Structure 1
């Protein structure tokens, strides 16, 4: 059973990355189009998912969010906090 563990891990990583690419908006994918990332993940089983996680995945949004998107909560809105 232990000798099959790397295969299960590679398969789980591949499935996770395929779902992640499919759920990522097309304009947020970095370095290559989404279809190319899906192809790389499927054809190159271990290296493709790792490259997606390191190079293609959108960067994490920290605290402030996107300037085009309104704040989700009132305490994230600077105008709301000024009015308090």
Structure 2
């Protein structure tokens, strides 16, 4: 079983790198044209996939979690979640204030109507 793994692991790596290379847009292939990378992966089936994964493709940095490099620090910050965005938090506070004032108005209107009903019940001659 272990002998089969010696052949299956490089084969799986080659298949993965081949599919990854085919799915990569032409402008994201680094150093060589995409067709050259396909031939390198298929002809050198142990070294080719490793070289493709290491140097053949433009890799996207993670969305967050690590300290960004100097290049990323100079660019606009990307929000990972809505609660990271101060503008979104500000809009939530404003919306909450509007909802609270609307609720207070409704409660005041309800109290006024209840008092009016109590007055009508206590004074049957008024109507």
Q: TM tier, shorter chain?
A: 0.7 to 0.9
- By how many angstroms is 1:74 displaced? 7.8
Query: Match of 1:36?
Result: 36
Q: What stretches of structure 2 of length at least 5 have no aligned partner?
A: 65-74, 91-127
Corresponding residue number in structure 1 for 2:94: none
What's the secondary structure of 1:16's corresponding residue? helix
Q: d(CA) in 1 for partners of 2:57 and 2:6?
A: 23
CA apart distance, 1:62: 3.3
C-alpha RMSD of matched pairs (Å): 2.7
Higher fraction of helix: 2
- How far residue 82 of structure 1 moved from its aligned partner, in angstroms, is 2.9
The match for 2:10 is 10
| Separation in structure 2 between the aligned mates of residue 74 and residue 60 of structure 1, nearest angstrom | 18
Count residues in correspondence.
Answer: 77
Aligned counterpart, 1:21: 21
How high is the TM-score relative to the length of structure 1? 0.74
Per the TM alignment, residue 17 of structure 1 is displaced from its structure 2 partner at its CA by 0.3
SS at match of 2:40: helix
Q: Secondary structure at the match of 1:55?
A: helix
Runs of 4 or more consecutive aligned structure 1 residues displaced over 6 Å after TM superposition: none
For residue 87 of structure 2, what is the aligned residue in structure 1? 82
- Which structure 1 residue ranges, 5 or more long, are not aligned? none
- TM-score scaled to structure 2, two decimals? 0.51
The alpha-carbon deviation at position 44 of structure 1 amounts to 0.3
